[in-house]
Amino acid sequence: MPEQMGAELLARQMVNEGVEDLFYIMGGPIIEAAGFCAEHGIRTIDCRHEQGAAMAAHGYARVKGLPGVCMAASGPATTNLLTGVANAYLDGVPMVALGGAAAFSSFERDDFQEYDQLAMAVPVTRWASRVTHSARMPEFFNLAYREAQGSKPGPTYLDLPGDTLYQQSDDETVWFPETGLPRSRPGADPDEIKQAIELLANAERPIVLTGSGIVWSGAHAELQEFVETTNIPFWTTPQGRGVIPEDHELCFLAARSMAFREADVALVVGSRLNFVIGSATPPRWSPDLKVIHIDTDPTEINHNREATVGMVADAKRALVALTAAAKEANLNAPTDWLAQLRESDDSRRTQYLDLAHSATVPIHPLRLADEVVQRMDRDAIVCVDGNATLAWARQYIPSFVPAARLNPGPNGCMGVGLPFVLGAKAAAPERQVIGFVGDGSFLMNVQEIDTMVRHDLPATIVICNNAGWTAGSNDTPGRTLGYGQRYEDIAVALGGHGEHVTKPEEIGPAIERAMASGKAAVVNVEVEQHAMPGQARFGGYSATLSR
């Protein structure tokens, strides 16, 4: 049998695993691996920065529902991946990062770009290893791909020394592991299902709160059936939006704070009790709250708040069992609770609509958000990035289908917007992809507009340009950026489409022209720089950012 390089064995296993796209930048020693990937039918999307490649793989994974794959050359190219890898780690997103490395045979000899990349990757991955013999390349990629999709999804890392990539191995000595094995789905304990139903049946103010676990489990239909069976109102974490359409009659987005504060029983499915939801602790939640927590990872149960009922179970299987038990018990949420939530939701929505329909100049950010909403397809993917921009989008831009909302996540990582747009469009070329980003975050990975142009991945990026890094007072140190930059011209210079908007009536037509251009398009909209969105404080920072 003919001998093949480790680089080609890697590419073959990637194809076996079903990998369709690779985000990377050329360079040694991975250049042959990228070439073999292309030869074997994988689309190789060469980005303009390795951070962009990692973040694109992250966005791709969220939309595709499968691990995104990124690859970088050795040394600084691989360290450039790390921010994107760390972001996926905190966001619980499956991704495989491949890093070229100095030759293994030269370790400890001060070889070119020799340092321990593996050690750097370990703290921000679910699993990380190094391939030291080419014949084991398929086995190790299989491990990386499987581990990324484990009970707690996340990124994995493979260190690929140059000599391992170029080393030849005979096919007869190579094991290509079986792929596509069915995912293990742990079921819920019947006694715990019974306890959960009893708690919910006796609750005066029950709610359902879900996270990304619903998305990774593919449990959106089961979730909707449970909610409609019980009439229990639902909320999601920011990254888990759209699992039930947000125009559903049991969705009260604007009453979120009230619901969290007053709920007496919360069914939490596939979500960590982290800072995003106030750790389910006072003052954001009632001290008397009873929690039913369902997660595939046992370490999440009783983390930050003790669960009255804790189930280590797959979201889909648990919801099927809960729905059956709820039907048998004729479980129905109290109507007065729903009426209170509806009243609060209607009141807040009226406030939003007044601002969203405002004709003031400078433009109010909610007017911009409303113009975007009016031009969104129902299955549009919206990639949000920025500080205040994130809050405006959270308050006003809805999601109607699963995995259609991407944002900086628990890492609060600015600069993800454009790479997410790139990755999302690569994952779903038939769908509308919109970036809603701040002017500060826009420039962090602006070079990926060129990637979108070269690879024919058209999308519309709307800049909510408030002339600074945050909303609010210009007394905040380092806040001010000004309105003078013509960000849209960057898109034009790179072969895309650009528009500049300063008046409310110009927004809609500009967005429509951008969407119709069939190009990577940027609509730069100047908005009121002092408009402050309502948002929960987080991160343990000072109560004020100004002096």
Does residue 313 share a domain with residue 197?
yes
Task: Please give the average per-residue pLDDT across 238-248, as a whole number.
Answer: 94
- Would 336 be classed as within a structural domain? yes
pLDDT band at 70, cuts 50/70/90? very high
Q: Are 425 and 458 contacting, i.e. CB atoms less than 8 angstroms apart?
A: yes
Rounded Cα distance between 149 and 145, Å, is: 7
pLDDT band at 1, cuts 50/70/90? low
Tens digit of pLDDT for each residue in 373-428?
999 999 999 999 998 999 999 989 999 999 999 999 888 899 999 999 999 999 99
- Would 539 be classed as within a structural domain? no
- Would 159 be classed as within a structural domain? yes
- Would 380 be classed as within a structural domain? yes
Q: Which one has a higher pLDDT value, 172 or 420?
A: 420
- Classify the phi-psi angles of 326: left when phi > 0, otherwise alpha if psi is within -120 to 50, otherwise beta: alpha
Determine the residue type at 145. Answer: Y
Task: Please give the average per-residue pLDDT across 122-127, as a whole number.
Answer: 97
Beta-carbon contacts of residue 278 (< 8 Å; ≥ 6 apart):
260, 284, 285, 536
The pLDDT, as a whole number, for residue 535 is 53
The pLDDT, as a whole number, for residue 543 is 37
Does residue 362 share a domain with residue 337?
no
Q: What is the CATH number of the domain that holds 266?
A: 3.40.50.1220
Task: Please give the average per-residue pLDDT across 136-143, as a whole number.
Answer: 97
Three-class HEC string of 378-416: CCCEEEEECCHHHHHHHHHCCCCCCCCEECCHHHCCCCC
Q: Which one has a higher pLDDT value, 163 or 111?
A: 163
Rounded Cα distance between 223 and 331, Å, is: 15
- Would 350 be classed as within a structural domain? no
Does residue 156 share a domain with residue 8?
yes
Any idea which of 87-101, 119-133, 430-444, 459-473 has the lowest mean pLDDT?
459-473
Tens digit of pLDDT for each residue in 477-496?
888 889 999 999 999 999 99
Task: Please give the average per-residue pLDDT across 359-380, as a whole number.
Answer: 96
The pLDDT, as a whole number, for residue 506 is 97
SS3 471: coil
pLDDT at 339 over 60: yes
Q: What is the CATH number of the domain that holds 146?
A: 3.40.50.970
Does residue 396 share a domain with residue 507?
yes
DSSP 188-207: PPHHHHHHHHHHHHH-SSEE
Does residue 371 share a domain with residue 284?
no
The pLDDT, as a whole number, for residue 209 is 97
pLDDT at 545 over 80: no
- Domains in the chain: how many in total? 3
Does residue 390 share a domain with residue 365?
yes
- Would 352 be classed as within a structural domain? no
Does residue 270 share a domain with residue 156?
no
- Would 351 be classed as within a structural domain? no
Question: Which residue range(s) make up the domain with 238?
Answer: 190-342
Rounded Cα distance between 376 and 452, Å, is: 20
